[in-house]
Amino acid sequence: MNNNDLAYIDENLRIIKERCAEAKEKFRSSDDVIRIMAVTKTVAPEAINHAIGLGMNLLGENRVQEYLSKADLYDKSAEVQFIGHLQTNKVKYIINSVSMIQSVDSLKLGQEISRLAVKNGRTMDILCEVNIGGEDSKSGVSPTELNELIKQLSELEGLRLRGLMTIPPPSDSDIFLGRMKELYDKVSEEYADMDTLSMGMTHDYAEAIKYGSTLVRIGTGLFGARDYSK
């Protein structure tokens, strides 16, 4: 695979940056920082490194096993965060190689991350994943239980709660993005370290920026359609 084969990534990234800039100019302050994450699920390391070479310095990993199989091949200049559903018995494999775990949705998971962070002498940045649409098919804490979980997590050693993450239902996306912004605004008033609202994917990242997202997670829009059955 050579750079000519990967030129589509250059064009996709140009479009993504342009749309993000337009949304920011229209809806946000010029001082706001909005990060673009390259979601790497099922993407070949060559394509990922090409994106890094174009300036994509933030990667999002969904699966522990897949990440471990590719991590050594990545350009080490990029930051890696974990965004997928995480089982407690898999935390030990990523505790020292990711900068943030965005998918914390239970006290049990938080306690295991805390235990291993303390054991390894580090502080792990985390986000609470919120199931804003109440969908059975998605993980995440319910909005009604969020405050209690945040309180519990904030008391654990080795964790720094940086904000919230969500995957809203594709239908009525605007409504749920707006609800997440309201939730984030409320909880961030109480917790000084909160500075991250991770929401927005290929189909709705411009709308997410409108509603206050500070980090958009883009896979298909950057790397093209992929076979998620792998």
- What rounded mean pLDDT belongs to the chain? 95
Per-residue confidence (pLDDT) for residue 227, from 0 to 100: 63
207-224 pLDDT, tens per residue?
999 999 999 999 999 999
Q: Could you state, in order of their start, the residue ranges of all structural domains in the chain?
A: 7-221
For residue 230, pLDDT beyond 60: no
State the DSSP string of the chain: --TTTTHHHHHHHHHHHHHHHHHHHHHS-TT---EEEEE-TT--HHHHHHHHHTT--EEEE--HHHHHHHGGGS-TTSEEEE-S---GGGHHHHTTT-SEEEEE-SHHHHHHHHHHHHHTT--EEEEEEE-TT--TTS-SB-GGGHHHHHHHHHTSTTEEEEEEEE---STTHHHHHHHHHHHHHHHHTT-TT--EEE---TTTHHHHHHTT-SEEEESHHHH----TT-
136, with CB counted inside 10 A (0-12, 13-18, 19+), is exposed
pTM: 0.95
39-83 pLDDT, tens per residue?
999 999 999 999 999 999 999 999 999 999 999 999 999 999 999
CATH fold of 7-221: TIM Barrel (3.20.20)
For residue 1, pLDDT beyond 90: no
Q: What is the mean pLDDT of residues 164-192?
A: 93
What is the identity of the amino acid at 194?
Answer: M
